[in-house]
């Protein structure tokens, strides 16, 4: 796997990060999300110090992740792969039924 270096800015601080070309877009999206969350914490609270802002942002993002996982467990949200698998199964079943129907009409 090829690794490349990218530069990313979070809360005005530049970081050099290593990633594969396949994961670069997702990493940049994550960087933007972290930067947004840290900027929000800094501007909407009395928290000072980058380390404390980072912890508060991490807690906020972790809380969001836990809520999403709970909603998935309760059937309120579905992971994309599960949706794709279900759609494939439905298409296969539909194809089988249509194939049976065509065979009956040909008789």
pLDDT at 39 over 80: yes
Confidence class of residue 99 from pLDDT cuts 50, 70 and 90?
Answer: confident
- Ordered by start, the domain boundaries in the chain are 4-76, 79-107
pLDDT digits (tens, 9 = 90+) for 72-85: 787 777 677 777 88
Q: What are phi and psi of 9, to 5 degrees?
A: -115, 125
CA distance to 97, 100, 102, 103, per residue, from 106 (Å)? 14, 10, 6, 5
User: Model pTM?
Assistant: 0.66
Report the distance separating Cα 14 and Cα 4, nearest Å.
Answer: 16
pLDDT (0 to 100) of residue 54:
94
pLDDT above 90 (res 33): yes
The DSSP secondary-structure symbol of 61 reads H
48 vs 36, 38, 43, 54, CA distance in Å?
A: 16, 11, 10, 10
Of 6-10, 21-25, 43-47, 93-97, give the lowest mean pLDDT range: 93-97
CA dihedral sign of residues 37, 40, 45, 50: positive
Q: Please, which pLDDT band fits residue 26 given cuts at 50, 70 and 90?
A: very high
pLDDT for res 16:
95
Q: Which two tokens stand for residue 39?
A: 């900027």
């Amino acid at each position: 796997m090829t690794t490349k270096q990218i530069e990313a800015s979070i809360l005005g601080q530049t970081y050099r990060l290593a990633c594969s070309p396949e994961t670069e877009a997702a990493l940049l999206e994550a960087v933007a999300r972290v930067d947004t969350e840290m900027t929000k914490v800094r501007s909407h609270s009395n928290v000072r110090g980058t380390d404390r802002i980072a912890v508060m942002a991490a807690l906020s993002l972790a809380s969001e992740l836990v809520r999403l996982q709970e909603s998935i467990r309760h059937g309120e949200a579905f992971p994309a792969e599960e949706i794709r698998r279900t759609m494939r199964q439905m298409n296969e079943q539909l194809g089988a039924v249509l194939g049976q129907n065509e065979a009956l009409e040909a008789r």
